[in-house]
Amino acid sequence: MSNYKILFLDIDGTILRPDDTIEDSTKKAIKEVKQQGIEVILATGRPLHEIYDIAKELSIHSFIGYNGAYAVYKGNSVVKEPMDSFLIEKYIQIAKKHHHEIVFYTHEKNAFLDMESPFTKEITEKFHLQQNIAFTADIVKDILGLTLINVDENETSLYDQEGIHLSQVNVDGLRHCYDVIRDKVNKGYAVSKVLDYLNLPSECAIAFGDGMNDKEMLQVVGEGFAMGNGHPDLFAYAKHKTTEVTNSGVYNGLKSIGLVK
């Protein structure tokens, strides 16, 4: 029997291809590890209310969302860490001054500063976001995560804050989008909390990711895999490098440690 007990999977660029489909080899790999009693958890920057179709397709029932700000294990809340209201208000001022857009994620909705902006429409179409509303001040205390939109690389320093770093969204066509990640609340933090909740050591955990928002997650597990299509800077944080999401990356990674045939 395998010593591995739990598998954390990023979504975009890891299990989901650029054409928004999941390879048959990925589905096969997930099914095989589940048959061995290994828990499978989706770990994404996306809001959880927008991933349930993917979860249903893969029969997965536990999640980390909002880049680690919220984690649910089989219906039980393990992590819930809303963002600081003062930070939210400061970022809104910066975005409005420099003609940037922001999408804020609550537990149930995606809130935009400008619903009619072409950048808003682009990201809602790219990620198939359905639960969209205009931002209002009364949701500030409920925001679990946010993504900056239409921010040039030389403008990212405008959002520099202690305890915060930006992670470029590693999705084709969205070069000027950045997830706002808290140093102390990220995917690695949430993975550690889930492992504590289940009383599991890090050595029995596996994780796959492709973006810089996955680096903390890959560092806290026993077997961290960076996808072949991953951000170039991510490979330094991963124990392993597998093939691309379009070339059986998850399957080949799990095969390399003897979990699938």
Give the residue extent of every domain in the chain: 6-81+185-256, 85-182
Tokens read off for 211: 């973006």
Digit-coded pLDDT (tens) for 120-153: 888 898 888 999 999 999 999 999 999 999 999 9
- Mean pLDDT across 237-242: 98
Q: How far apart are CA 51 and CA 67, in angstroms?
A: 13
pLDDT of the residue at 225: 98
Average pLDDT, integer, range 235-239: 98
CA dist., res. 153 & res. 178, Å (int): 10
pLDDT at 218 over 60: yes
Distance between CA atoms of 136 and 153, rounded to whole angstroms? 28
Rounded Cα distance, 42 and 31, in Å: 14
Q: What is the CATH number of domain 85-182?
A: 3.30.1240.10
**Would you say 154 and 94 are in contact if contact means Cβ atoms under 8 Å apart?**
no
Q: Write down the pLDDT at residue 173.
A: 66
CA separation for the pair 64, 75 (Å, rounded): 12
pLDDT of residue 2: 73
Which residue in 68, 95, 89 sits closest to 79, CA to CA?
Answer: 68
Determine phi and psi for 73, rounding to 5 degrees.
-115, 110
Q: Do residues 253 and 208 touch, judged by C-beta distance below 8 A?
A: yes
**pLDDT reported for residue 239:** 98
Query: CA angle 184-185-188, nearest 5°?
Result: 95
pLDDT digits (tens, 9 = 90+) for 164-193: 999 988 777 677 899 999 999 999 999 999
Whether pLDDT at 1 is above 60: no
Which two three-digit tokens encode residue 141?
Answer: 């205390």
Res 80 pLDDT > 90: yes
The 3-class secondary structure across the chain, one letter per residue, is CCCCCEEEECCECCCECCCCCCCHHHHHHHHHHHHCCCEEEEECCCCHHHCHHHHHHHCCCCEEEHHHCEEEECCEEEEECCCCHHHHHHHHHHHHHCCCEEEEECCCCEEECCCCCHHHHHHHHHCCCCCEEECCHHHHHHCCEEEEECCCHHHHHHHCCCCEEEEECCCCCCCCCEEEEECCCCHHHHHHHHHHHCCCCHHHEEEEECCHHHHHHHHHCCEEEECCCCCHHHHHHCCEECCCCCCCHHHHHHHHCCCCC
Give residue 169's pLDDT.
Answer: 87
As to burial, measured by CB atoms within 10 angstroms (0-12 exposed, 13-18 middle, 19+ buried), residue 140 is: buried
Q: What percent of the chain has pLDDT over 70?
A: 99
6-81+185-256 CATH, one of 3.40.50.720, 3.20.20.70, 3.40.50.1000, 3.30.200.20: 3.40.50.1000
Residue with tokens 């550690």: 192
Q: 7-42, pLDDT tens digit by residue?
A: 999 999 999 999 999 999 999 999 999 999 999 999
For residues 87-111, average pLDDT: 96
